Each structure stands twice: as C-alpha cells, then as structure tokens.
Amino acid sequence: MENKETPPPSLGSTVWVFDYDRRTYGADRGRPIHRGYFRPRTIVHETRVSWVLDDHPDPKHATKVSKKTLAGIYATQQAVDDACWIDANREAIVEAVRLCRDAVSLRSVAAILGVAAVPEPPLPDRSRR
C-alpha cells in the first residue's frame, strides 16, 4: 500500500515493475527470492491517461500504466521493500494467528484489521422436550 504522502510519479521517475518471468534464486536454488522479481523502469513518455515505461524501443509497444490507479507498478523503493516484507512474513503471521487460542490477542488482531466479531450462536432451547 502506497503512502498517501508520497508524491505521484512523473516523467523521468524510476518505478518498479513486478515481472513474473524474471526469477532470482538463492544459493540453495530453492524458492525464488521475491525481491528478484522487481525490475526498475523509467517513465519516458506520457499520454493524457497513462505513463509509458522504457521497456520497449517503440513507445507504441511499451508498457503503459494508468496514472489514476498506478496498477502494476511500485512507485517507491519503500513500496518494493514493503511488498518483499509481506511476502517473507505473511504466511508465518497467518499460521500464528490460526494457531492462537488467546482471545485477547485475537481480538486485538481483529480490531487492527477491522474484522467484525461474529456473534456466538445461541444454544438451542431444550425445555420443550
């Protein structure tokens, strides 16, 4: 998630694109290193509604990114760092929450994430037997 105080990219800015086809592996050749998927690109042209990146010699065939949504790009190094941190830590955090049996901790997590508590269902009325 981008910081709302970060200025928007402009002509000549460096942005990072997540490229699924570019993989960088560690020494053990195991899982790809998430940071290795990011490629720096420069905004070299603009249209009324999009930025054009420097990934193709012909601007007609280059990647275009919506100025409004910035979909598919990371505008700052901090955004890349945040995406890498999330990739490295999300699964362990999810597993820790799944295994947690402490109501206070889970209520805190729910409040932070804005998750509404589900009411406990009432017990069935067994007095009519």
CA atoms within 13 A on the CB side of 33: 10
- Tokens matching residue 40: 């720096």
Domain boundaries, the chain: 14-89
Q: Give dist(CA 38, CA 35) in Å, integer.
A: 6
pLDDT tens for the chain, residues 1 to 129: 444 566 778 888 899 988 877 667 666 666 667 788 888 999 999 889 999 998 888 878 888 888 888 888 888 899 999 999 998 999 999 999 999 999 999 999 999 999 998 888 888 888 776
